[in-house]
């Protein structure tokens, strides 16, 4: 066990901070919003709940949910235009404060790149710092599956991305922040995991995270001290 003061020191001296997106950086779960928009909300949100609880392998859950939703390119674009995701209070300030300190900020999501890039642009995070799943469409815009080669399409994918970031940029300390089991599993290779329960509390994460917060103001406070 690392003491809380050591965790705080690690957070304040991190080279990079990686955020999960759904229910962490934004208030919604992107795939559930897409399902609602496409009229299959109930079936899909039950699957999301099982996947987040770690009961179903991630790729299997993603395949199953997308097969139900069958989102077209036009539906994804309309979702972003008509129901843009809502940023979690405090995230804009936290990201901007980290960037002022020359900390690299990454978004690592099991959600969809088109939605996550939209969120990244609101936070001045370059799209090269976004790791997420890519939806595939046929030339007529109909759903054609997703890119299964992306590391984020697999269980353990977030950890793979963090390992890759360490190798590529020689980061010494990486912090992972997120609400779900897949975020907690990314530490190690992340050096610190901070569980976030500001939008939804996942009991497994709350019980097992060494550092658990429900408001980003707490982390802003650490950086100000």
Which residues have a catalytic role annotated? 20, 22
* Cβ neighbour number for residue 210 with a 10 Å cutoff: 16
């Amino acid at each position: 066990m690392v003491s809380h003061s050591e965790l705080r020191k690690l957070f304040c001296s991190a080279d990079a901070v990686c955020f999960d997106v759904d229910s962490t950086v934004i208030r919604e779960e992107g795939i559930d919003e897409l399902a609602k928009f496409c009229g299959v909300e109930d079936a899909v949100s039950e699957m999301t709940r099982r996947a987040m609880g770690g009961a179903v392998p991630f790729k299997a859950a993603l395949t199953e949910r997308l097969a139900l939703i069958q989102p077209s390119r036009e539906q994804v674009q309309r979702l972003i235009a008509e129901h843009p995701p809502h940023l979690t209070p405090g995230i804009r300030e936290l990201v901007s404060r980290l960037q002022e300190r020359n900390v690299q900020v990454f978004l690592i999501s099991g959600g969809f790149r088109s939605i996550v890039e939209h969120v990244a642009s609101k936070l001045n995070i370059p799209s090269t710092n976004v790791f997420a799943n890519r939806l595939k469409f046929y030339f007529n815009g109909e759903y054609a599956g997703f890119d299964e080669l992306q590391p984020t399409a697999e269980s353990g994918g977030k950890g793979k991305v963090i390992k890759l970031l360490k190798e590529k940029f020689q980061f010494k300390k990486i912090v992972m922040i997120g609400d779900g089991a897949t975020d907690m599993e990314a530490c190690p290779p992340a050096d610190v995991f901070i569980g976030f329960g500001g939008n939804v509390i996942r009991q497994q994460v709350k019980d097992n995270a060494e550092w658990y917060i429900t408001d980003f103001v707490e982390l802003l406070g650490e950086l100000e001290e």
